Every structure is written in structure tokens, then in C-alpha cells.
Structure 1
């Protein structure tokens, strides 16, 4: 581990999330968003300002966008990749208003009845993010909205169309806020570079150039790819894994090494920073990780330099997260198995070993194509899902009894007695 990685680790351990022992206790910040994301005064002000939003989903997106607009860029002294949760210091007046708004939000019948299961704990299509960027995703959203027919009820059920349209509007609201935060991060890096000594001045200038481009635009090299994924995942309201980094990052790494603009040591330091970032948004009783190794759709072994380097990062950073894993099958090399066991022998709890062949065969029995089945991930703790295509997690099966009661009373009419409801 380099001196920089050690310094970054020390800086991140001082941040609010790694310090938190029991996030459920009432402290400075409250947990109402997903259970793994503190909401801030910016969110609550946005929620309050949009009580006339046409849907609860739209109101929540206004609130989440407001939190991103209120967020201030955080760039620590030694990091090469950035993008952190913004948890501000409040004046006594702000803290009082925050506490009051938290109580109003918690007691709202809308938020309580609509809470339901978690909406995170799923894997996103990070390859798509790197391939087309936020701008490409926005263009795709506009194209899909244009295809919706909001008048002809014979073509689409009106309610379903409006739900789709509302979802797309929410996406645009929050993606615009994300792009705004990206630009302010780039500006912050520029400002810091003006007064920083060398070599930090050059590092901050490079960081600014990268943040002026990603995640809004497609990644063009290895460092941009890492920064794009980190910035995007770091701004989401929940936990989302790093998926299969030795697959979607390898083309960028290989090209940069071939072009002579990146060395293996430089890449390892960036990967260490990338993995350390996960700990700044994951509480001790949660989990968020990645899987390396395994096989591709043709049955070929996936094992490259990045496979080893992400395992090395687990040894370097020695943190609970990311909870890294190695997909093991009968093709897995003895070298990488021995290396993984050597890491574990040092008292480090990762990597976990996943039976690649059994998992792939099981997913295919349940209807997944082989191409999808080989691209699985443990989305948080150990639940298996297909990267970019599965909306599932371990806690989706919940019954919102107050909501059920409300709908039952509404269906039965105002004159219904309690005995009839029973």
C-alpha cells in the first residue's frame, strides 16, 4: 500500500459514515431516506417546497434534486477520485429547523404509507453509464417520452402511461441536479489547484478536467471510468454494488497501459482509492461490494490483471467494505486461488468465494440467458442478482398494513363498520 492510500484511508475514517456505530440512534442526522442514507436539510426543504407536486414520486425527486443542489463539493487532501455524501454542519437555528422538518416528514401519512420495501440493493448497468454517459441516458429518456401516447387510450392504458411519464420526469429532475453538482466539483478542484503546491496542483487540475467531462459524458480512459462510476454511485440514495469491475474497466485499463499513459502501480493506487470510497457511504451493519473472476458467456475464464488488482485492494485498504468476492469454477487458476487464500490468511475477511458454476446453472434454470447468468453479483450481503437487469433484494416482501387498510375502507365506502372490515 502506498503512502497516499494510507493517507486517504485515514482521511476517510474521519468522515461521518465510517465513524457511526449505531445509525439508528437519534443523533445529528436522521435516517428516513432508505435506511442507509441520511437526509439533509436540503432534502427536507425540497420536500416542503413541492407539496403541490402531482405525485409522491415526483415530490420525492424534487427533494432528492434539492439535496444535490444544496450539496457542497468535498475534496480531501490526498484523494485522486472524489464525490462524497454531503453532511453539513448546522447552525443552532438550522439544526432546530432540520429536527422540526424531520419530525414532519416522519409523521407524514404520505411518506409512511408509501414507504414499502427498499428500492436500492440492486445492481445498475455501469457499462452503459461509461459507454454513453449521463447525456446519453438523458437523450434516451427524451426519446422514450416522445414515444408515449398521452391521449389515445386505445393504445395505452392511461394510468400506466402517466406512471411511465412521471418516472421519466423524475429521472430528468435528478440527473440535471447531478450534472450541476458535477460542474461544481470541477470548479472546486480548479479553485483548490490555484493555491496548491506541486505536485498536488497538477493532480487537482487533472481532477478538474476529468470532472468537467464525467459522468456527464462517456468515459475515455481508466481514470475517467473510475471517477464516473464513483461519482454516480456516491450521489445515489442507497446502496449499489460495483458489479464486475475486472470486466467493464479492463478495456480502459488495457488501452491506457498500451498507450503508455498508465502504469500498473498508478492503476493500483486509483483502484485502492476507488474501493476506499465505498466505505464512506456504507454503514457498519450494511454491505456493498464487487465480484471478480468467473466466466464469460462463451464459457471462457475471466481472469486478468484487474482481477488481481481488485483483490490486492482488499488487502491494502483492510476495511469492511467493499465486501469483495471471487467467482470460482473449475477453470480458476491455482495462482489466483492461492493469492486469495494468502490474503485471507492475514486476517482480512475478503474475498468471499462464490461457486460460479452452481450459481450460473441455477440462474439459467430459472430462465436467465447464459449471457446474463454469468454476469451475476451479490448485490449487498450475499443475495444473487443479474447485473443491470434485476430489481430484487432480500427485503422486498413487506405488507404495508396502513395502506391496505386505507384502500379497503375506500373500496367499501364511508358507511362501512369495523365489524364488516373484520
Structure 2
């Protein structure tokens, strides 16, 4: 019987001090990386891009300012100011300049920018016009793809404007061999090459870039060793002096050489995690199975009496705080979709090993304890669950959930492992999966998954069915016929499928264009040094060097689409209570919430002005046609009364999320309209596309760009998140909602599904509440649900936090596939969380 660690350890006073310092001021934009990157690029014009990337990384690490924050035991920061962000102009830059004067005051994720920083960035940005990945990607996209993006059918903005990230590297290997070991591996591969080889030029430059990047990291760590020793010599506090000397010794040893103990392993891990996010602006760089690769160092030190549990817990707590020090500035629109300053650094605990044995250990419990101690959004802790998971581990996880910070999220090995095998992973690799970012599974150190590649709004094709492919006078979709002439529901549903398949093809075109642009302009040699089999293949992950290659865009709005199509089926075709013409008219004028004539004129003027700015000639007839379409949204008093009755009829139609097998079976078919067509496509790296069904928090801003839907949802309001039922429509309790969600095909959505639930705190009170909660998770997973996460907070608390944010500075909630400080979220996103159905156990 395993001797699991279950007793809580008191939190160290140091941790509270580190947290206080972290949140003492607004995050800032800093210019050092952008300036240094530009300096290097100017000096390496004409050299191979992989060489330029490595030399730029070296130049940055050699000259970027470094700091050791007060009370730190784990060191390494990408910025001078806590929780701040560097700029990454090689991916995109124009949005930064456009938002110089608004970034500090915007509603989601503001950043302060000093006048000096603005000037330095402005000067650096001059070099990058025409050289970014985003500009190259745009040039590769088909015109109809750009039209679809412009009309908000989908958004590939994640990698369009940023690095990719969404990866877990070989942390365990680096701890074991150090970067000196990686350098030796690259040198051996280089020695085997012949100058006469057809791919010698590409391979040799890649391997030399790996060597240069790894040496730069070792030198960077030595800069910290020197800084720590310099501070130790001036330090008058004897206890802190000893800490600084120890930090210096650690940074001299790791990450260049193998870690010899748990403290060195912690420091080595942190340099890897930190510097991956300095090489590129990609987020969701996830620590993966921390409790597995760190455990041998902990176990050895504990047995030899070299460390206590309390000291090991403090070191882990320090890492948890550091994970919240990393930050990323996004454009205003993207900030709304990723609100909460989140970097989605997903860290897993529990689960199986490659042979299918449970490997929950002491560190698994201590990971949960660290999240309890620190109480911050990062890391995004995930618990792997299967039949062999110890009950007490789930109780420990439930205790963390009960704190209300939305951690951990729970994942079902019994669904995820076979779904990965179906995508080509070996059984051993699939059993060793970890979660990336929000909810996306992959095998660490072997995968370039391109998770989160785009957001696909499943409601938008339905709008185009009603408009026969047109929007504001532009053909955005394809002609699928006049809906008022469709005789059967099957004909109507088929029109939706055709619209969606066409638009999914455009999404694929956008993702592949961006994929190619990253390979050509921003290959990442440091990241690639830690992914199999880049060194063996002699190519970066961006060029297909990984063992497993995928692209995973995600669809959302399943609940809206299920309830919408079901309402059409029942009210129009089965019961014939409403004509299709009346339904179409109701959607045009937003169920009687339509616009005034003055608003119609203003909207028309805006559309016309946009066409003129594009250089198009606009005739009086065209203006009249645009106004005619916009004016359809105007609504008479008589219509308003009729539409109130229609909304009542819609409300009485059965809804997804209430354990109604007929509706839930249809929801499964609705999900297939996205997941099945997508998996027929391939990406430039030789991999396939795989569907995810989750929105991050984009269901709120993208819902704001979506018209009314036949489920009674009003225009410009949030779309349902992930595979969750529409807020307020799951009226039969949490078990019924779980039963409905479990009937979806979670296996085909191998890029992850996301299921949100919200409980009143009283539901988890006492040991009985925890046992009931664990039983709910077990029952849902027994029915082959894939993922579930929880908010445990009362509606009253959230409403009060909206009114008095100064009293709730540390209130953390679950947003989507991540947690965030509630007061840092936009009001629209706060409202969406408040609106979610609140459950109790009956």
C-alpha cells in the first residue's frame, strides 16, 4: 500500500511576501527584448533564418536586464517589473503602436507603458514593417478566407499575431543531462552529416543553432550566479546571505549540468519554463507531469535527510508564485478573449504510467497543496483521473476545488488515452499524456499540436443559412437557398452542414497559411532542442521536426446550435406553430429588440464608409441596398408582441443539458458537423487536423459579434461555452447536465472538450460534501465524459465583487480552461460567469 502524503503543511511567510510584491502595481510593457532582437536582426541580414533566430536569442540573453526579487529562492525573470511583458515584433507589432495610448485603460488586461518605452518600441518597430509572420501569413491566405475572418466567422488570431507555444518539452531529460547533454547530442548528429548530403545545409544550420541557443542559456544562468554572489557580498542579513550563496551555486550548476538534488531540479525547471517564453510569445507552455519528473529528486533527498517536506513544499510554492510572474500582452480584442492575464501553463498531477499503473505520489498531493498555499491562477492545475486513482487524492483535489479558485480541472484517462491512440500515438505515449493550455491532451516532448489554432463560432453558419450566404451585401458563405422554401428539416439541416463545411475549409486555409509563415520566419531552435525528434531529423518543430504533428482549432456554441436547430425542427416542421418566414423575421429584428431607423442609418453609414476606405466605389443603388438589409432589423410594436410569444414557445421546447436522450443524441450530431469534416484535412507539417470543443473565454466577445439565434438567444450576447449547456437552461440539476454532456462523442474531439459547472459553496461543505462531489466526477467519467471543471462561489459574492472590486483583489474564479482573478476580467465576462447555472446536491 502506498504511503501517500495527506497532511497539510503550513504556508511559509515568504510566500505571502512574494505574492504581495507580485501584485503591488499594474503590469508594464518593457522594450528590452524588442530592442535587442532588432539589433541582432540588423546585424545578421542575409544569413539563414534559423541562424538569425539563434543569434538573436543569444544576444537577448547576453544583454537583457536581470533581477533577483526580494525573498526569492527560485530566480529568473523575463522583465524587470513583476508580471510585466516584453514585446515580440517578429510576429506582429502594429497593434502595439495603435494601442500605446489605450493599453493602460482598456477593460481587459491593461498594461502601463511609459513614454520612454513607447519611444524605444517605436524606434525598434520601424525595422519590422513587411517582415512579420502575420504579414506573410496574410499574403498566403485566399481572398475568401480573409473575407470570412473579416466577418467574424472564425478567428485564427492566436498564432496570427503571436508565437505558437502550446507545448510541453522534455523537462525530465534536461534535469537529467543538462543543456550540456543536449549540446553533445546535437554535436554528435552534426558529426554524422556529410557535406554532400542533399539536406546538409538545412540540417547543419539547424544543429548549430541548437548548440548556440543552449550555450546561451547556460551563460544566462551564469549571469544570475554572478548577480546572486554580488548581492550576497553586500547583504547584511546572514540568513539571506546564505540563501543568495545557495542561489549562486544552483545557477552555476543548472541548467547547464544535471540537477543533483531537488532544489537544483526546481531551479533548472524554472529556467526552462521562463526562457521558452522569452524565445517566443507563444503561451500555454505547460509544465506537464511535474509530479513525475521531479519525484526522483524529492524522494532521494527525503530518504537521505537532505530536505524536509516543509522545505520542499516552500520551493514548490515559490515556483507556483513565479509561474504568475510570467505575463503576455495581447491586442485589445484578443485580451477580451483571453481575459485574466492568463498564460495557461497547465501542470498535471496523478494518472498512469506508460504501462498503465497508477503513479499518484507524494508530489501529486504537494502540487495540490501548493495551489492551496499560493491561491493564484497559475499554474492551471489538472488532475488525471481513472479507475485506479486513489480516493484520498480526489478528496485532496476536492478540498482545493472547495476554496473556489477553480482548480484543479479533472480529466478522464479512460477517454483521453484511446482518443490519442486513434490519432496515431502509441499506447505508451498516450498513457503518458499531459494537458496543454486549457483542455488539450498531448504527449510531452514529442508533439507540435498547434492546439487553440482558431476559434470557430458554430452559430455563424446558421446565420448564413438564413441569409443565403450573404452578409451586409457581401457573399461570405455559399448560396444554400431560400430558407422559407425548405420543405423539410433535413433540407434545412443539410444547408447548415454545407455552409459549415465550406467555412471550415477556409479556417483550414487560414491555419495552414499561418503555419507556413511561422516555419519560414520564426523557427525556434531552443524549443526544438527539447522536442523529439528535431535533432534527429535536423529540423525545427515549425518545419515538422516533432514525432506527432497536429492542428487543433476549436468549435464552440454546441448548446446554442442544438437548442436552435431543435427549436426549428419542433416549432416549424413538426408542430407547425411558426412559419420559417416568421422565424427569419424574428431573428432579423432580434426578437423585437430591433434597432431604430436612426440607428439603421448610422449603421449603413459605417458600412459604406468601410467600403470607401477599402478603395471601392459605392453607388446610390448599393447604399440603398445596404440600408434595406440593415432596416430589416427595425421592428414594429405589433411584431414585438408577437415575438414575446415566440420566445415563450422557444422556452418550452426541451433543451440540451437536462438528460433528455432525444435532444442529447441530436447534440451529438450537431457536434459532428464540426468535428468530422475537420479531421479530413492535413497541415503543412504532415499532420492532421483534430477538433476541440472549447472556447477559452472567446464565447463572450465572439458572441458580441453574432446575431440572434433560434434558441431565443438575443443578438450580441454570449454564446454557450464549450460543451456546457446554455446558462440557465440546465434546470434538472448537475447530474442531469453531466448525463447530457457525456452523450457527446468525446473521443472524436481529441483536441479536448470543456465542461463548466458551478456549485454553491454549501454543496461541498464537510466530508460528506466532498464525497458527493467526488462521486459526481466518478459517475460522469464512468459515462465517458472527458473533462469537467468547477466554480465554487456564490452568486452573491460575485455580484458584490463587481460592485466593490477593492475588497476582492485575490478572488480567483474559473473562467474557461483556466482560472483568473475575477476583478481583472471585463464586465461582460464577469456577467457570463455570474449567469452560469448554480447547482447544489439534492
**SS in structure 2 of the partner of residue 212 of structure 1:** helix
| Match in the other structure for 2:290 | 245
Q: How does 1:10-409 map to 2 (within 5 A)?
A: 10-14=20-24, 19-20=26-27, 28-29=29-30, 39-53=33-47, 55-87=48-80, 96-108=119-131, 112-113=135-136, 118-151=163-196, 156=197, 158=198, 160-196=199-235, 197-236=237-276, 237=279, 238-239=282-283, 240-283=285-328, 284-396=341-453, 398-400=511-513
**SS in structure 1 of the partner of residue 383 of structure 2:** strand
Q: For residues 29 and 175 of structure 2, what CA distance do their matches in structure 1 show? A: 36
Q: For residues 358 and 320 of structure 2, what CA distance do their matches in structure 1 show? A: 24
Task: String of CA shifts for 1:15-49, please: whole Å, max 9, x gaps.
Answer: 7xxx44xxxxxx8447xxxxxxx843112211122
Contact 1:126–1:229 (8 Å) recurs in 2: yes
| Match in the other structure for 1:420 | none
CA apart distance, 1:350:
0.8
CA apart distance, 1:232:
1.8
Task: String of CA shifts for 1:319-343, please: whole Å, max 9, x gaps.
Answer: 1111001000111111111111111
Looking at both structures, which has the greater relative contact order when contacts are Cα pairs under 8 Å and sequence separation is at least 6? Answer: 1
Q: For residues 59 and 441 of structure 2, what CA distance do their matches in structure 1 show? A: 33
Q: For residues 174 and 114 of structure 1, what CA distance do their matches in structure 2 show? A: 26
CA apart distance, 1:93:
7.2
CA shift in 2, pair 1:337/1:106, >3 Å: farther
CA apart distance, 1:94:
7.6
Task: String of CA shifts for 1:109-133, please: whole Å, max 9, x gaps.
Answer: 6773279764421110111101110
Task: String of CA shifts for 1:64-118, please: whole Å, max 9, x gaps.
Answer: 2211111232111101111110358999778634322223214436773279764
CA shift in 2, pair 1:111/1:359, >3 Å: closer
CA apart distance, 1:302:
1.1
Q: Can you give the 5+ residue segments of structure 1 that lack an aligned partner in the other structure?
A: 21-26, 31-37, 408-422
CA shift in 2, pair 1:351/1:91, >3 Å: closer
**SS in structure 2 of the partner of residue 124 of structure 1:** coil
**SS in structure 2 of the partner of residue 400 of structure 1:** helix
Q: For residues 117 and 311 of structure 2, what CA distance do their matches in structure 1 show? A: 43
Q: Can you give the 5+ residue segments of structure 2 that lack an aligned partner in the other structure?
A: 1-10, 87-112, 139-158, 329-340, 454-507, 521-842
Contact 2:67–2:80 (8 Å) recurs in 1: no
Contact 1:282–1:321 (8 Å) recurs in 2: no
**SS in structure 1 of the partner of residue 381 of structure 2:** strand
Q: For residues 396 and 441 of structure 2, what CA distance do their matches in structure 1 show? A: 25
Size of the alignment, in residue pairs?
Answer: 382
Contact 1:73–1:181 (8 Å) recurs in 2: no
CA apart distance, 1:221:
0.6
**SS in structure 1 of the partner of residue 238 of structure 2:** coil
CA apart distance, 1:13:
2.8
| Match in the other structure for 2:643 | none
Q: For residues 93 and 343 of structure 1, what CA distance do their matches in structure 2 show? A: 43
Contact 1:73–1:83 (8 Å) recurs in 2: yes
Contact 1:379–1:393 (8 Å) recurs in 2: no
Contact 1:222–1:256 (8 Å) recurs in 2: yes
Q: For residues 207 and 134 of structure 2, what CA distance do their matches in structure 1 show? A: 21
Contact 1:222–1:249 (8 Å) recurs in 2: yes
Q: For residues 94 and 278 of structure 1, what CA distance do their matches in structure 2 show? A: 25
| Match in the other structure for 2:554 | none
Higher mean alpha-carbon deviation, 161-170 vs 87-96, is at 87-96
Matched, 1:8 2:18: yes
Q: For residues 369 and 37 of structure 2, what CA distance do their matches in structure 1 show? A: 38
Task: String of CA shifts for 1:328-381, please: whole Å, max 9, x gaps.
Answer: 011111111111111111111111000012111222233322221121111212
Contact 1:133–1:214 (8 Å) recurs in 2: yes
Higher mean alpha-carbon deviation, 89-98 vs 58-67, is at 89-98
CA shift in 2, pair 1:360/1:40, >3 Å: same
CA shift in 2, pair 1:286/1:274, >3 Å: closer
Contact 1:40–1:87 (8 Å) recurs in 2: no
Q: For residues 195 and 287 of structure 2, what CA distance do their matches in structure 1 show? A: 37
Q: Say what the alpha-carbon RMSD is for the aligned residues.
A: 2.7
Q: Which is higher, the Rg of structure 1 or of structure 2?
A: 2
Q: For residues 235 and 297 of structure 1, what CA distance do their matches in structure 2 show? A: 29
**SS in structure 2 of the partner of residue 83 of structure 1:** coil
CA shift in 2, pair 1:348/1:308, >3 Å: same
**Normalising by the residue count of structure 1, what TM-score does the alignment of the two structures yield?**
0.84
CA apart distance, 1:215:
0.1
CA shift in 2, pair 1:110/1:392, >3 Å: closer
Contact 2:354–2:431 (8 Å) recurs in 1: yes
**SS in structure 2 of the partner of residue 377 of structure 1:** strand
Q: For residues 451 and 55 of structure 2, what CA distance do their matches in structure 1 show? A: 28
| Match in the other structure for 1:418 | none
CA shift in 2, pair 1:87/1:399, >3 Å: farther
**SS in structure 2 of the partner of residue 194 of structure 1:** helix
Q: For residues 278 and 322 of structure 1, what CA distance do their matches in structure 2 show? A: 6
